[in-house]
Amino acid sequence: MSSNALKPPGERPADASQPDFSRPKDGAIVEFRKVRKAFGDLVVLDDLDFTVAPGEKVAIIGPSGSGKTTILRVLMTLVEPDGGEVYVDGQPLWHMVVSGQKKPASEAHLRKVRQSIGMVFQHFNLFPHMSVLRNITEAPIHVLGKPRKEAEARAKELLGMVGLGDKLSAYPSQLSGGQKQRVAIARALAMQPKVMLFDEVTSALDPELVGEVLGILRQLARETDMAMLIVTHEMGFARDVADRVVFFNAGQVAEEAPPEELFTNPQNPRTQTFLKAVLEH
Amino acid sequence: MFDRITFDWDWEYAFQILPQLLEATIVTVQATFVGFALSLVIGLLFALGRRAPLKLISWPVTAVIEFIRSTPLLVQLYFLFFILPRWGLSLSPFLAGVIGLGLHYGTYLSEVYRAGIDSVPKGQWEAARALNFSTIKTWRNIVLPQAIPPMIPAFGNYFIVMFKETPLLSAITVVELLQTAKIIGARSFRYVEPVTLVGLIFLLLSYPAAIAVRRLENRFVKQRA
Which ipTM did the prediction report? Answer: 0.88
Chain A CB within 8 Å of residue B78 CB: no
Chain B CB within 8 Å of residue A149 CB: no
Angle subtended at Cα A188 by Cα A185 and Cα A189, rounded to the nearest 5 degrees: 85
The pLDDT value recorded for residue A22 is 58
The pLDDT value recorded for residue B23 is 93
Residue of B nearest to A72 (CA): B130
The answer to whether the Cβ–Cβ distance between B131 and A123 falls below 8 Å is: no
Best of B122, B132, B135, B220 to mutate (most A CBs within 10 Å, chain A): B132
Whether residue B221 is predicted with pLDDT greater than 70 in this model: the reply is no
Q: What is the pLDDT of residues A46-81, one digit of tens each?
A: 999 999 999 999 999 999 877 899 999 999 999 999
| 8 A C-beta contact, residue A226 and residue A209 | no
Indicate the residue type of B107: T
Chain B CB within 8 Å of residue A76 CB: yes
The answer to whether the Cβ–Cβ distance between B142 and A127 falls below 8 Å is: yes
- Report DSSP state, residue A205: S
Cα distance between residue B138 and residue A114, in whole Å: 15
CA dist list (Å): A39 to A19, A69, A76, A251, B121: 27, 13, 18, 12, 21
Terminal-to-terminal C-alpha distance of chain B: 61
Q: What is the pLDDT of residues B142-197, one digit of tens each?
A: 999 999 888 988 999 999 999 999 999 999 999 899 999 999 999 988 889 999 99
Best of B125, B131, B133 to mutate (most A CBs within 10 Å, chain A): B131
Name the A residues in 91-110 with CB < 8 Å from any B CB. 107
Give the global pTM: 0.81
